[in-house]
Amino acid sequence: MAKLISGFFLVLVLSYLSERVDGKPTSSRKTLEDVDRKLKLLNKPAVNSIKSEDGDIIDCVDIYKQPAFDHPALKNHTIQLKPSFDLPQEKLTTKNEQVFQIWQRSGSCPEGTIPIRRIRREDLLRAASLDDFGRKPPQISSASNRTDRFVYFNNTEHSLGPIENRSVNPLLYGDTRTRVFTYWTTDAYRKTGCFDLTCSGFVQTSRKYALGAAFPNISSEFGPQYYLPVGIYKDPQSSNWWLKYNNDISIGYWPAESLMVYLKHSSTLVEWGGEVYSPNVKKTPHTKTAMGSGNFASPCFIYNARIIDFSDKTVKYPQWVGTWTDEIFCYTAYNYVKGNGNGSSYPVFYFGGPGQNPNCP
């Protein structure tokens, strides 16, 4: 078995994942004054703004005035503008596989700024509470309201840290578009963490991608497939955990001194997969919320999942791999090897499902 040592962690994923969030928002005990005060705190002054054709407004914010620096531990933080170690690049086979965001059709942010999706008044009015805006509500984070299916690689233990993927989240974003998102927590969602840049913590360095912004294209069965190469890895010098898109774009990082305390030295478990959040999972009647297109173990896929060991800087498929799913009659997961069509003997991980069906009432 390849030894997992202190000082390495890589997720290199080509994925399509669609999640939906069900909830019953309430605006009770929220005044417009409270909402406007919260908006002023969340939305930083912009150098300029871009009106996207999907209705989003992208603010180009001075990199040194981004939300990360509201965190007490980052008041005197020096930005690491690029990682000291770069990941191997994945070769995409067709032009259809290139992924971009809708707002990029309308403009770009200048050097020295980062793009931030502007939070609107209606976003806050939709939230269950102002204090929990941008976070997973405790009742939704609970395992009783969540169903999962994953492929996992592990050694002995793990600590929950950064999460990156694509989601559909109408409660947070106000629509059903597929959006790229990040989430971090250091205490299993109890008090810390948030989506995207809705709280302080994640330090963004790229001016090209906006966390929480929508994609114009999604994969379809028997149709074009769109891939997003994603890497999450620990910088061997700074110990910051970097997020990378499309092979060559370093989005930013979770700082070691404030967020990644429990992952400062190593990670021993990595998971890829999907989740559905709803009050109606693991009970009857089950939610009809689908994962992906709603087919069993085919609408979402991940391939070329790798880890990197900094002892020899080799990228490899782990020796110990397993899959699991909470509700096998509602959503499924499958690690498929033969006939994957990518010229590799390594598995392609498929997952998804319809939710409620005759076998999942």
- Percent of the chain exceeding pLDDT 70 equals 77
Hey, what are 181's tokens? 């998102």
CA 267, CA 272: separation in Å to the nearest integer? 14
List pLDDT tens digits, range 313-346: 777 887 778 888 889 999 998 888 765 455 556 7
- Percent of the chain exceeding pLDDT 90 equals 35
Q: Is the pLDDT reported for residue 3 higher than 70? A: no
Q: Is the pLDDT reported for residue 107 higher than 80? A: yes
Give the bridge partners for 151, in sequence order.
272, 323
- String of DSSP letters for 131-149: TTTTS--HHHHSGGGEEEE
List pLDDT tens digits, range 61-97: 999 999 999 999 898 899 999 999 887 776 655 544 5
Phi/psi at 75 (nearest 5 deg)? -60, -40
For the whole model, what pTM was predicted? 0.82
Q: Where are the domains of the chain?
A: 10-148+161-284
CA-only gyration radius of the chain, Å: 20
Q: Tell me, what's the pLDDT at 160?
A: 37
Contact present, 110 and 48 (Cβ < 8 Å):
yes
List pLDDT tens digits, range 202-255: 999 999 999 999 999 888 777 888 888 888 888 989 989 999 987 778 999 999
Distances (CA, A) of 287 to 18, 19, 158, 277: 15, 13, 30, 9
Highest mean pLDDT among 6-15, 44-53, 274-283: 44-53
